[in-house]
């Protein structure tokens, strides 16, 4: 009489069923997540390489994000410098017209307009922070609020009293080996222009009859001041040009960093991601094997000596 080892067959079939089920579940997970493993342990010896690549990619991405934010800031600075330069150019034009028309009656209004425009330009903020006051981002660089502030004894003694005395410029690291200073102090780029404002205001205060026609002394003053305001405007244009150089530099860095992020993402993908075509084949095979194992196990469970009687 033949002996049927039903219990042994059942254990073997159950073990095979568990293996094929695990393979089927893993193939399903890889298909859904498109990664070789769902934790570092599953990557084995390549886990350290994967960690290193991901760290490099995260660092490159952080520099890229910072650079983009700084690019937006420099665009705001360009607007601020353009506004301040326009204030200088506008005053130069108004003084020239006064000399040409032999009429100084509108110089006071022109001065006020240029002063307000320049003050607002240098005090312009980005994301709530001062652009031109170094690390003291919560304080406006220009403290003067009205023309009379220009001719106080303190201001006449030292024009820098019209500005905040911040003493540390910002230094921002935008790449592994690149650190930039995004902006100069407002007092540095605005000093010459505010000296012109001060001289014109003081002249107006000491020449209450400034009008038409101009006296020889008034003409001499305007002639000299036009040249000085022009120099101040040139200094502001130089600051604006330097800002443009910084923008171009950040643009080049962005291209390099974006390339690095793309390359590192590709390397990480080669380590961590599965070949979907290969996984699809394994999934199909695992499904077939699982179904076969389940069928065998079901048949063994139904085996009985009665079947052989």
Q: What are the residue ranges spanned by the domains of the chain?
A: 1-32+274-309, 61-267
User: 28 phi and psi, to 5 degrees?
Assistant: -65, -45
Tell me if 82 sits within 8 A of 124, measured CB to CB: no
Mean pLDDT of the chain: 83
* % of the chain beyond a pLDDT of 90: 61
Least Cα distance to 164 among 126, 191, 146 occurs for 191
- Kindly report the number of other CB atoms within 10 A of residue 246's CB atom: 21
Tell me if 102 sits within 8 A of 214, measured CB to CB: yes
**Would you place residue 264 in the very low, low, confident or very high pLDDT band (cuts 50, 70, 90)?**
confident
**Would you place residue 265 in the very low, low, confident or very high pLDDT band (cuts 50, 70, 90)?**
confident
User: In this model, does residue 27 exceed pLDDT 60?
Assistant: no
- Kindly report the number of other CB atoms within 10 A of residue 94's CB atom: 22
Average pLDDT over residues 131-142: 97
- For 48-96, write each residue's pLDDT tens digit: 777 788 788 899 999 999 999 999 999 999 999 999 999 999 999 999 9
> Which residues are CB-contacts of 123 (< 8 A; sequence separation ≥ 6)?
130, 132, 140, 141, 142, 186
Which CATH number fits the domain 61-267, given the four candidates 3.30.460.80, 3.10.200.10, 2.40.50.140, 1.20.1330.10? Answer: 1.20.1330.10
Q: What's the distance, Cα to Cα, between the start and end of the chain in Å? A: 11
Q: Interhelix angle for 107-122 vs 186-206, to 10°? A: 160
Token pair 């298909």 is found at 31
- For 291-308, write each residue's pLDDT tens digit: 555 555 555 555 544 454
Alpha carbon separation from 242 to 11, 137, 259 (Å, rounded): 79, 21, 26
pTM attached to this predicted model: 0.74
Alpha carbon separation from 63 to 82, 150, 176, 261 (Å, rounded): 28, 43, 9, 10
**Would you place residue 169 in the very low, low, confident or very high pLDDT band (cuts 50, 70, 90)?**
very high
**Would you place residue 239 in the very low, low, confident or very high pLDDT band (cuts 50, 70, 90)?**
very high
Instruction: Give helix then strand counts, H and E, for the chain.
Output: 7, 4
């Amino acid at each position: 009489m033949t002996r049927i080892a039903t219990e042994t067959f059942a254990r073997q079939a159950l073990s095979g069923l568990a293996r094929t089920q695990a393979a089927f579940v893993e193939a399903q997970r890889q298909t859904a997540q498109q990664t070789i493993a769902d934790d570092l342990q599953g990557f084995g010896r390549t886990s350290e390489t994967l960690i290193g690549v991901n760290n490099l990619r995260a660092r490159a991405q952080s520099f890229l994000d910072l650079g983009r934010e700084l690019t937006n800031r420099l665009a705001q600075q360009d607007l601020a410098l353009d506004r301040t330069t326009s204030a200088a150019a506008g005053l130069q034009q108004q003084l020239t017209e006064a000399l040409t028309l032999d009429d100084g009656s509108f110089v006071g209004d022109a001065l006020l307009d240029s002063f307000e425009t320049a003050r607002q330009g240098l005090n312009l903020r980005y994301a709530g922070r001062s652009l031109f006051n170094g690390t003291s981002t919560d304080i406006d660089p220009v403290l003067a609020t009205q023309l009379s502030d220009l001719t106080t004894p303190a201001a006449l003694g030292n024009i820098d009293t019209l500005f905040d005395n911040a003493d540390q410029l910002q230094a921002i690291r935008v790449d592994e080996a690149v650190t930039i200073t995004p902006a100069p102090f407002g007092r540095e780029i605005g000093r010459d222009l505010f000296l012109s404002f001060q001289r014109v205001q003081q002249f107006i205060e000491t020449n209450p009859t400034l009008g038409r026609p101009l006296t020889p002394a008034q003409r001499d003053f305007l002639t000299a001041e036009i040249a000085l305001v022009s120099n101040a405007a040139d200094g502001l244009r130089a600051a604006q040009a330097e800002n443009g150089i910084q923008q171009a530099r950040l643009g080049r860095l962005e291209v390099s960093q974006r390339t690095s992020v793309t390359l590192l993402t590709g390397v990480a993908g080669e380590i961590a991601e599965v070949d979907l075509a290969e996984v699809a084949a394994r999934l199909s095979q695992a499904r077939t094997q699982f179904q076969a194992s389940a069928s065998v196990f079901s048949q063994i469970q139904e085996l009985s000596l009665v079947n052989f009687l």
